[in-house]
Structure 1
Amino acid sequence: MAELKEETSNALFRRNTEEQQGLSQSPDSPTLLPLMQLSYSPWSSCLEALEQILRQQVTGDWLEQWEVQLRFQEWFRALLRQSAPETEVPDDRARLQSSIRYIGDHYDQTITVDELAADIGLTRASYTRQFKRITGKLPLEYVNAVRLERSKQLLQLTDDRIHEIAQNVGFSSEYYFGRRFKQYSGISPGLYRRHHRQEVRVFAPYLEDFVLALGVKPVLQCSHHSWGRQHYLGLDDVPEFDVSQMDAQFNLGNVPDFIMLDKGYDRWNLDRFEQVAPTFYVEHLGEDWRSILRSTADVLGKVNRVQDVIGAYEDKAMEAKSRLSRYMRGQTVAFLRISASDITLYGDQQGYVGPVIYQDLGLTPHSRVQQWTRHERRIFIGLDQLSQLHADHLLITFDTGNSTKPGVERELLDRDEWKCLPAVKNGNVYEVDFMSWMNYGVISHGKKIEDILRFMA
């Protein structure tokens, strides 16, 4: 109809009307269904779909003929959906949800933003803007994410070759698929499959907490010449690797198959080991430890354990919060990291401790914590500020990283500014383990909860 001239269209309409009237007067004619005017927008997309069907129609192969029938029925269904008079016009959000469902059903086919937008009657710009508002991703980013998540399932569950999986999920080449997969997952498709089928020898400095929580014992554990190792993890039988030694190398018997690094890798020059083993870089911030755990589980083939680990932590935090609410009753808390040269106050929103003690456990930060940190992870404070920190309870840990002699970091405890603090006078100062409190991870956060319950409940 879109290509008919107006006078031709009008003539056809009059003829069809006359024929209907003539038929309706015949006593032998069957009951007529109501006529429906069908339209397809955009017309160019309609023509493209029909041309594809027409090109395939000359085949003699029965499977390809069946494919033609399927393509036609999909096209015709779209035509009816656009044209059905009884269909209420949905709002933009409902139409976007419909488009998202379409992507989930057709991710293995060629999908363009123009077609997606036209199919629900939006301009490309409006579609893209609204799509990102709902999903957090641009349309083609979302399409690729759906394809790549499906490819993960196929890598785990099938023995299909990589190029076959690439084609099955909608990628035109194995090379492009491999590049996209590594950008998305952090490792290659082949390595991803291998990790889901066999145990992996992993080295994950300062990420051991996440690895161990998923039931994987690392082949090495990191240590630091001043801070020592993470004793709270209980890896007494695992050899140490001192990350503070910039020239440290792997021993022959401890070469890992896989390396995981967080955003602090450049501090220790650990990217030099990329040539030793495939290396995965964690992109999430430490506060988002749940996402780090999921990423770790994904690359190590332990996805089935994630929800149990997170669920156990959340149950533990909820029970502790309930107990603490009965004892604390609005009393305030602050956390200090004390070294030979600095006093560090940790904030209530970010950092190693804030999200746990103030959010998960619901403790009340002292007003100076909120006022001074202003959503920063931590700030350095002087003795004048320290004397204003009138929190009811103080949690402290000692950082020996820049101590010139044993115990120098504790000299603050002998100063009058310290002794005058209300928490000090009332005996409400609690020293905690440096490594378990200055780390992210479900195990370290669990230790924090256990310490707080022991001190305050």
Structure 2
Amino acid sequence: MEWQNFDLPMDNVRLRWIGLDVYTFYSGIERTMFAPDNYAMWVIDEGEGVAVVDGQRLPIVPSSSILVLPGTILEWEHQPGHIVHAHKLEFDADWEGEPEEHPLAMIGNRVVAIQPLANLMELLDQIAELRTTDMGMSRFRRGILLQEAIFQFAVKACVNQPANTKEAVLRTITHMEENYQHNWKVGELAAIACVGTRQYSHIFRQVTGTSPMDYLHRVRVDHAKRLLRSSSRDIHSIATQVGFKDEFYFSRRFKQQEGVSPSVYVKKHEPRVIGLLFTSHLLALGMTPIGAPDYHLFRNEYVRPYLPEMKPFVWAPYDLEAIREMEPDLILGYEHMTTGEYEQFSTIAEVVRIPWQSQDVYQQLDSVSAVVNKRKRSREWMEQHQLKVAQTKERLCSTIGLQDTYAALVIDDTGFRVAGDRNMGHVLYRSLQLRPHPLVQQFINDYNGHNAFSEKLPFEELHHYDADRLFIMVNGQNPYAEAAFRKLCRSEVWRNLNVVRNKNVHKVSYDKWWMYTPLAVDGQLDEMIKLVENV
């Protein structure tokens, strides 16, 4: 066992539970600061950002954990478009020796990847159930669970070093792409990868064919291109926004990469469009909207690369003044828009209604392309997409049974919903033409233009949908759904399903599967291969 390969004098540490809290950090909050007097183990189960621990910036992703030592100043930086969900387990750890020799000091104040995360999350769920107990045996049990949670962290902390330096460098590339405005230094990136500067630069060039700084400049220019197409801002402000110190160096780099100066490139400027429900459709056509509903941006994995170029506005209820301040030339409405909504939006810009409920995603794309004069781009996108569909079907033929039955379900806190052949069911039943479970097929046949998902059903009825393969999406808008799913997985109702016994259950990401858009159905083809082939 891995914990037998090292030792910490934890037997001389007396742990005492203090509290367990759950935090959700929303985008738009610049920083949230904590300065605990006790030990606090933070566990991230959703979202990405940066933890600043006594001034040191540490990237965090789902499954990241940090044991914050007493007296440490911890600040959370939130990445645009990410909602960070975190658990804080607070405790005391008495030690009779010198403070600097405390065992937890050896593993504290750094990011530790806890993988798989499920075991630790189950412990935290059990501790949460005993949070307010006043019974002696329950408190005793809570203390045991606390020790087990800290034990799991300590084990991972002692062995969690990058086994593959190439993978570590690849992770810094992702971090660089997501934080391209930052004034990165090679030494800073090398430190994140836990390798020396020379080794980092050598591996980076092997992976990308270029140096870290040249790669960063290329990423910045790509973002600048989108801003030039979708914004009326001057070149100086765009150069500053993407991370260049001055517009002259930016222009030189831009021309090296694109062959023309930014001022020439900007002549291809597109109309200022807001798509409302059709943000992704515009992006698929090569147009970047100037703004989009907040939920389109922050809970949609396929739109996140375009976040810096689009301003979010509150959707429920929609912020009319924020939309007005963006000064759009065109607003794409929807068929079920009320007369009052249409009139309000029409005071800002021209509004063209696009069918939503009566058209599938491909028909919607065609309708949008007709309005913005992008029919050729729409046909090109569809040709590439259909080729990708065919390639995906061919690749999956050798892995899954095309004659098997399939079901796609959404998990809520008190039950589940069945997906039809829109939203998360489109790729399964329309694109790949997989066979729906008979009850799913019946639901698809009953589509009335509104019911993309069924009414909520109790978990006890899951056995009626025991298909050969099951795709599960936990409702990311329900804060209690994930805990309900973990509890369901421990139940007899779940374990008695044949699809569970045959290990043919695939849990899909909410941020990648809930939207019904061109970018989503195209990206879900890649996700299907990863899910089925366990890539």
- Match runs of 1:43-442 below 5 Å: 199-224=270-295, 228-233=298-303, 234-237=305-308, 238-247=310-319, 249-250=321-322, 254-263=326-335, 265-266=337-338, 272-285=344-357, 287-329=359-401, 330-347=403-420, 350-371=421-442, 373-376=444-447, 377-380=452-455, 381-403=457-479, 407=483, 411-442=487-518
Matches of 2:318 and 2:284 in 1, distance apart?
Answer: 28
Equivalent AA in structure 2 for residue 396 of structure 1: I
Where 1:396 maps in the other structure, the secondary structure is strand
Matches of 2:301 and 2:473 in 1, distance apart?
Answer: 15
Equivalent AA in structure 2 for residue 399 of structure 1: N
8 Å Cα contact 1:221/1:235 also seen in 2: no
Matches of 1:276 and 1:343 in 2, distance apart?
Answer: 40
Where 1:430 maps in the other structure, the secondary structure is strand
8 Å Cα contact 1:294/1:306 also seen in 2: yes
Pick which of 261-270 and 413-422 moved more: 261-270
Q: Percent identity among equivalent residues?
A: 23
8 Å Cα contact 1:244/1:268 also seen in 2: no
Give CA deviations for 1:113-145 in whole Å, capped at 9, x if unaligned. Answer: xxxxxxxxxxxxxxxxxxxxxxxxxxxxxxxxx
In structure 2, the CA distance between the partners of 1:241 and 1:442, relative to structure 1 (3 Å rule), is same
In structure 2, the CA distance between the partners of 1:355 and 1:415, relative to structure 1 (3 Å rule), is same
Equivalent AA in structure 1 for residue 463 of structure 2: S
Give CA deviations for 1:171-214 in whole Å, capped at 9, x if unaligned. Answer: xxxxxxxxxxxxxxxxxxxxxxxxxx962111112311110000
In structure 2, the CA distance between the partners of 1:454 and 1:286, relative to structure 1 (3 Å rule), is farther
Give CA deviations for 1:348-404 in whole Å, capped at 9, x if unaligned. Answer: xx3223342123213222233224554434323333321222222211112243446
Matches of 1:323 and 1:268 in 2, distance apart?
Answer: 49
Structure with the higher helix share, 1 or 2: 1
8 Å Cα contact 2:272/2:329 also seen in 1: yes
Matches of 1:447 and 1:314 in 2, distance apart?
Answer: 13
Matches of 1:267 and 1:356 in 2, distance apart?
Answer: 34
Pick which of 238-247 and 209-218 moved more: 238-247
Give CA deviations for 1:146-188 in whole Å, capped at 9, x if unaligned. Answer: xxxxxxxxxxxxxxxxxxxxxxxxxxxxxxxxxxxxxxxxxxx
8 Å Cα contact 1:399/1:409 also seen in 2: no
Cα deviation, residue 266, structure 1: 5.0
In structure 2, the CA distance between the partners of 1:270 and 1:412, relative to structure 1 (3 Å rule), is farther
8 Å Cα contact 2:414/2:458 also seen in 1: no
Q: Which residue of 2 aligns with 1:446?
A: 522
8 Å Cα contact 1:223/1:230 also seen in 2: no
8 Å Cα contact 2:406/2:467 also seen in 1: yes
Equivalent AA in structure 1 for residue 409 of structure 2: L
In structure 2, the CA distance between the partners of 1:235 and 1:295, relative to structure 1 (3 Å rule), is same
Instruction: Report which structure shows greater RCO (CA 8 Å, sep ≥6).
Output: 1
Give CA deviations for 1:328-358 in whole Å, capped at 9, x if unaligned. Answer: 12232210011224411123xx322334212
Q: Which residue of 2 aligns with 1:108?
A: none
Matches of 2:528 and 2:340 in 1, distance apart?
Answer: 32
8 Å Cα contact 1:339/1:401 also seen in 2: no
In structure 2, the CA distance between the partners of 1:412 and 1:246, relative to structure 1 (3 Å rule), is farther
In structure 2, the CA distance between the partners of 1:427 and 1:285, relative to structure 1 (3 Å rule), is same
- Match runs of 1:27-38 below 5 Å: none
Give CA deviations for 1:253-303 in whole Å, capped at 9, x if unaligned. Answer: 523221112245459957632211111111253653222212211211222
**Who wins on radius of gyration, i.e. which is larger?**
1
Q: Which residue of 1 aligns with 2:129?
A: none
Matches of 2:405 and 2:438 in 1, distance apart?
Answer: 8
Where 1:446 maps in the other structure, the secondary structure is helix
**Aligned-residue RMSD, C-alpha:** 3.1
Where 1:431 maps in the other structure, the secondary structure is strand
Q: Which residue of 1 aligns with 2:112?
A: none
Matches of 2:453 and 2:496 in 1, distance apart?
Answer: 23
Structure with the higher strand share, 1 or 2: 2
Matches of 1:410 and 1:256 in 2, distance apart?
Answer: 45
Give CA deviations for 1:35-62 in whole Å, capped at 9, x if unaligned. Answer: xxxxxxxxxxxxxxxxxxxxxxxxxxxx
Pick which of 202-211 and 321-330 moved more: 321-330
In structure 2, the CA distance between the partners of 1:372 and 1:261, relative to structure 1 (3 Å rule), is closer
How many residues align? The count is: 258
8 Å Cα contact 1:286/1:440 also seen in 2: no
In structure 2, the CA distance between the partners of 1:247 and 1:409, relative to structure 1 (3 Å rule), is farther
Matches of 2:383 and 2:288 in 1, distance apart?
Answer: 21
Gaps spanning 5+ residues in structure 1: where? Answer: 1-196
